[in-house]
Amino acid sequence: MNFSAKMLRDDALQGKVIVITGGGSGLGKAMTQYFMELGAHVAITSRDIEKLQKTANELEAKTAGKCLALACDVRHYDQVESMLKEVLKTYGKVDILLNNAAGNFISPTERLSANAFDTVIDIVLKGTKNCTLAFGKHWIESKQQSATILNIVTTYAFTGSAYVVPSATAKAGVLAMTRSLAVEWAKYGIRSNAIAPGPFPTKGAWDRLLPGDLAEKFDMAKKVPLGRVGDHQELANLAAYLVSDFSAYINGEVVVIDGGEWLKGAGQFNLLDQIPEEMWDMLEMMIKAKKNN
Cα separation, 16 vs 240, whole angstroms: 11
| Active-site annotation holder among 91, 156, 163, 188 | 156
The closest alpha carbon to 24, from 1, 42, 38, 6, belongs to 42
156 catalytic? Reply is yes
Cα separation, 288 vs 41, whole angstroms: 65
Q: At residue 45, what are phi and psi to the nearest 5 degrees?
A: -135, 145
Active site residues: 156
